[in-house]
Each structure stands twice: as structure tokens, then as C-alpha cells.
Structure 1
Amino acid sequence: MSLQTRIRAIFGNDSLDWLDRSYLADWIVVATLWLLSELAMHITVFERDFYATDPVINHAHKKSQIGGELNHFIALLVPAVVLAAVGLYRLAFVRIHHGILALLAGQGLTRLFTGVLKNKVGRLRPDFLARCKWNDVKMKCTGKAADVLDGRRSFPSGHSSAAFAGMTFLSFWLAGQTAAWCFDVPVPAASLRSSRLGRFILTLLPFWWAIFVAVTRVEDYRHHKEDVIAGGFIGFVCAAICYLAFWPSPFVAKNFDSRIYGQPRLLYTDEDHRRLTSAFELTRLEEDDMDV
């Protein structure tokens, strides 16, 4: 049984009517972003000068409260699981496809920007001297080479950018499903799920996690405050752009029409052409009636 047959068996015979070969190009772009981001991680790190007495980089080297693998796992898997679960519940394969595609695009773009800046800027971490173990006789760092090299990759914060990329996407997606950020959209009464404040708080929960991750990076002396601010900004912007490329804006009331509520954009269809053609045909009919 082919993949398309399996999908149609689960989601319905019309579940792939929106599919277009142009989406293959989108997936290629996303794969390219991830490949380039991996290459960016191996760019030669800029080794800026420093003073062995600089108090800004003379903090203790501590264990991270949130490891890098755990952070990336949460930032990528949690949004993916949420949107996949809703897509399966509603039997809408297009929601799953567009959600995963937009999520991976945002994370890939974030990772690319972060990797390039980390290596080209070469800002020293707050715990750099503890990693360096400067030797006055040898006039060089005597710490582990890998630790010293990583100590030169402070700006921007990779933890913060990844966390904000994943959680920004999830917040935008939740807002798009609940109209939490568009107060002009009416909601049904006599239902606990209709609470305006409840919906709004729900969409903010992912941001709280991203903020928590960013704060721990400062507490652990792994980043300066400017690093986490820049990292968070990069993740937010990349995720927001990629979300809006595939999903309607959660701030616009017309996007919550009963026919399209919570639906992604169908990017490669002839809907606009059909609508224009229909309007032209109606105009011609009206003109013919007037002549008669």
C-alpha cells in the first residue's frame, strides 16, 4: 500500500486534493536550511583578544540547568506533537503537513542565523576564563581545547533562539486555533472553553518556557543578557515569518470565518483564478440581461 493510499484511508479520499508539487520545493528549501545550518556550526570561530583580569568573563563554570539536547528536543517535539495530535483528531492531514513544514522552516532558519553569528562574532562567554585556565608563563589558555573554543561562542544564545523559535510557533498556532489574540471574533457563551482570558493565557504558556530557558542561560553564566535577548529575537522573528507563510495571521478577524477557522493557507491552488473567472462570467451575464 502506497503512502498516499494510507493517508487517504486515514484522513479521507479528499485529504490530498490540496497537494501540489510546489510543496516539494518548499521541503527542499527547508532541508537546505538545515544543511547550511549544520555547515555554519563548523565555521572557523573568530578568536578575539581578551584580558585575563576582565571581570565580565571571570565567572564560575557551572553545569547547565537545561542541557542543549533537552532544550532542542522540547522546542521541536512539543509543538510537533501538539499540532499532529490536533490534526489526527480532526482528520486533517493538511494541518499536520503545513504545521510540520512551517515549524521545521522556522527552526532551520533560526539555527542558520545563530550558527553563523556565533562563530563570526566570537564573543566570550561569562565563564570564559574558567574554561581558559590562563597560564601567565605560557601566555595562553591551558584548558580543554573544546571548552575554550565553545567559550568563544556566546553571541547569540543558541538555547534562547531554539526555545523561542519553537515556542513562538506554538503560541501563534494556538492563537490561530482559538482566536485568542483577536478580540473582535465572537465566541460561544455558556462554555468554559470560551473564556477569553483562559484562551489568552493558554497561548502565553509557551513563551513562559522560552523565557525560563533564556533566564537560566544568564544564571548559569553561559551567556550575557544581550546574548539571550538577541537569540530570543532571532527565534521569534524566524518562527513568526515561517508561521505566517503557511498559516493565516492570528491577529486578523476575517481569518476566523466559520469556513476557514483554524485552517492553514492553501498556497498553490487556482482558487483566486476561479474566483476572478466566476466574477467575470457573472458580469457578462448581467450585461447580456441589460441588452435584452
Structure 2
Amino acid sequence: MALTARIKRIFGNDALDWLDRSYLTDWIVVASFWILSELAGNLPVFERDFYVADPVINHPHKKSQIGGTLNHFIALLVPAAMVLAVGLLRLSFVTIHHGILALLAGRGMTRLFTNVLKNRVGRLRPDFLARCKWDEVVLKCTGKKSDVLDGRRSFPSGHSSAAFAGMTFLSFWLAGQTAAWCFHAPLPVASLRSSRLVRFCLTLFPLWWAIFVAVTRLEDYRHHKEDVITGAIIGALCSAICYLAFWPSPFSSRSFTTYEYGQPRLISSENDHRRRANDFELTRLEEDDMDV
């Protein structure tokens, strides 16, 4: 009890509000996303037929401008670092907990959908024939087996889905901290922080990075345009849903009036539910008395 009181004294009365059984369930669901996505990545790849004269899959095999490790590093650790920095600055465990939970949920869900589709669809990459190294004598691919197998996993783009998942979360989170996407929200008076355009442009930087990553996948002949578009939609949609599950909408003015800027959603306590129920019952009694 003494430790709990000390933590609340230092970090605020809501410092331990995230210690709830429902949040434990959320973490189990998030872990399931990541575990299932790893299993889905090892599913047998559908081996689609192809023609050696098909120009759509006859592009050169080039080195990626943005490597997979770098892309995943930026898409995951950059948003996490932003959340951690602001949480520590505010001395708010709740901000850190909800930010990391929403980020990992969106990234895990995106990864699960992407890996399942990649292996079940089996679409050939634009550089598939360069990987395949078709032999007219033995009538089969003679290229490196892992390269050929990866060449069958074009749809959707994993780079695009990962980048948009991480950067969409970061854009939503920054908008929630600054009210950049809600032009009716009140802002500080007569200060540099009052610039709505600066706030708005700040939230666009992560999305520009995600778009850049997606474009490089086309330039490197690793994906078709449909792969990139679908990957971007999957990442953005999953991340937006998971963000809104734990944070107020950055588009609504109510998010910046009923909540302080940047405050996440919290599960109502049992006392809150009782109070609301009592309020509702009293309201009905008062209405009945008025009718009488």
C-alpha cells in the first residue's frame, strides 16, 4: 500500500488505472496476433502457374532501397519512442501503457493479415523470372530456393502494410496530442503553438514516410501497384481501429473538451457505473413525479 501511494503521489492518481484484468486480456489478444502472424508466415505458399514470356514478371532483381529490418525498426520503434518520451515527460504510466498497447495491436493485426494473404494468394513479384532463372532443359526454376519462394509472396506488400501501420498510429497519436485534425478545438492563445498549419503538417510527416516506402517497392520491382495499395489500406485500417479502441477520436471536438489533450480512454471503475446507474434511476423518478 505504501508503494502504491508513493507511485500515485509521484505520477498522479491515475498512475495505476491501467492495472485492470481487461487490459491483461487485451495484452493476450495482442500477443496472439503476433504469434499467429509468425505461424501464418510459415504457411505453405500457393505456387501459381506462370509463363516465361510474361512481361509483367520479367523485371530485373534489384537491391531494396529500404530494407525489411530498417522498415520494421522505423515503423515500430519510432512511434514507441515518441509515446515513451511524452509519457515520461508527463510522468504518466497510462499514456505509455495505452500508446504501446495500441501500437502493438495495430502492428500485430496488420502482420497477421499480411502474412496470411501473402502465402494464400501466392502472387508473383515483378522480378520473379529474374529470381527463378528458368532452365529450358529441365523445365524448372534453378535460382536460389528461398529467393524463388519469396518471389511468390507479392500480395500484399509487407513493407507498405508495416510502414502504414506504424506511421498511421503515429499520425493519429500526434493529432490526438495537438488537435491538428480538429479545427474546432481550442488552442493556446497568441503563441507559436497556436499555428494550426504547423500542427497539421507535423502529423503528415509520418504518412509521407509511409508513402515513400510504398513508392520504393514499386521502383525496386518488388511489388505491383495493387500490392502496395492493398498493403497500405490494411496497415492504415488496422492501426486506426486499434488506436481508436484506446484513445479518443482526433477528429472530434469532444475529444478536446471532455478530455484533456492527449489523454487515453480509461475503463470506468465500478463506482462510476454505480453512480451512472443511480443518476439514471433518479432521473426517472423525477420524471415520474413531474408526470403525476
TM-score where L is the length of structure 1: 0.92
Q: Superposed, which structure 2 residues align to 1:125-204 within 5 Å? A: 125-204=125-204
Q: Distance in 1 between matches of 2:66 and 2:95?
A: 31
Q: Distance in 2 between matches of 1:131 and 1:160?
A: 22
SS in 2 for 1:277: helix
Matches within 5 A, 1:12-23: 12=12, 14-23=14-23
1:51 deviates by 0.5
**Given the alignment of the two structures, is residue 229 of structure 1 paired with residue 229 of structure 2, yes or no?**
yes
Aligned to 1:252: 252
8 Å CA contact retained: 1:246, 1:267? no
Q: Distance in 1 between matches of 2:53 and 2:3?
A: 62
Please state how far the C-alpha of 1:5 moved relative to its aligned partner: 8.4
- 1:34-183 aligned at under 5 Å gives the runs 34-183=34-183
Structure 1 distance, partners of 2:23, 2:187, is 34
**Residues of 1 paired with 2:168 and 2:260: CA distance?**
22
Shift in Å, 1:185: 1.1
Cα RMSD for the two superposed structures: 2.3
- Preserved CA contact (<8 Å) 1:125 1:224: yes
What is the CA distance between 1:172 and its match in structure 2?
0.5
Does residue 206 of the first structure (1) align with residue 199 of the second (2)?
no
Structure 1 position 269, deviation (Å): 2.7
Cα distance change of structure 1 residues 237 and 179 upon mapping to structure 2, 3 Å threshold:
same
> Displacement, 1:187?
1.4
For residues 169-228 of structure 1, the C-alpha deviation after alignment (integer angstroms, 9 at most, x for no partner) is 000111111111111112122111110101000111100000000000000000011100
Give the Cα–Cα distance (whole angstroms) in 2 for the partners of residues 230 and 156 of structure 1.
Answer: 6
- Paired residue secondary structure (1:213): helix
Taking the aligned partners of 1:3 and 1:163, their CA distance within structure 2 comes to 40
Gaps of 5+ in 2: none
CA distance in structure 2 between the aligned counterparts of 1:4 and 1:93, rounded to whole angstroms: 13
AA aligned to 2:86 is: V
On the 8 A contact 1:57/1:128 being kept in 2, the answer is yes
Structure 1 counterpart SS, 2:260: coil
Cα deviation digits, residues 200-257 of structure 1 (max 9, x gap): 0011110000000000000000001110000000000000000010111111111111
Deviation sequence 1:2-58 (CA, Å, 0-9, x none): 997896575246411453111111100000110000000001000000011111111
Distance 1:10 1:72, change over 3 A: farther
CA distance in structure 2 between the aligned counterparts of 1:225 and 1:39, rounded to whole angstroms? 27
Output the amino acid matched with 2:87: G
* C-alpha distance 285-49 of structure 1, shift in aligned 2 (>3 A): closer
Describe the SS at the equivalent of 1:160: helix
Q: Are the structure 2 counterparts of residues 38 and 227 from structure 1 closer, same or farther at C-alpha, using a change threshold of 3 Å?
A: same
**Could you tell me whether the CA contact under 8 Å between 2:37 and 2:111 is conserved in 1?**
yes
Which residue number in structure 1 is paired with residue 264 of structure 2? 264
Partners of 2:159 and 2:214 within 8 A in 1? yes
- Asked if the contact 2:17–2:266 (Cα under 8 Å) also holds between the matched residues in 1, the reply is no
Q: Matches of 1:3 and 1:39 in 2, distance apart?
A: 41
1:274 alignment counterpart: 275
Measure how far apart 1:262 and its partner are. Answer: 1.7
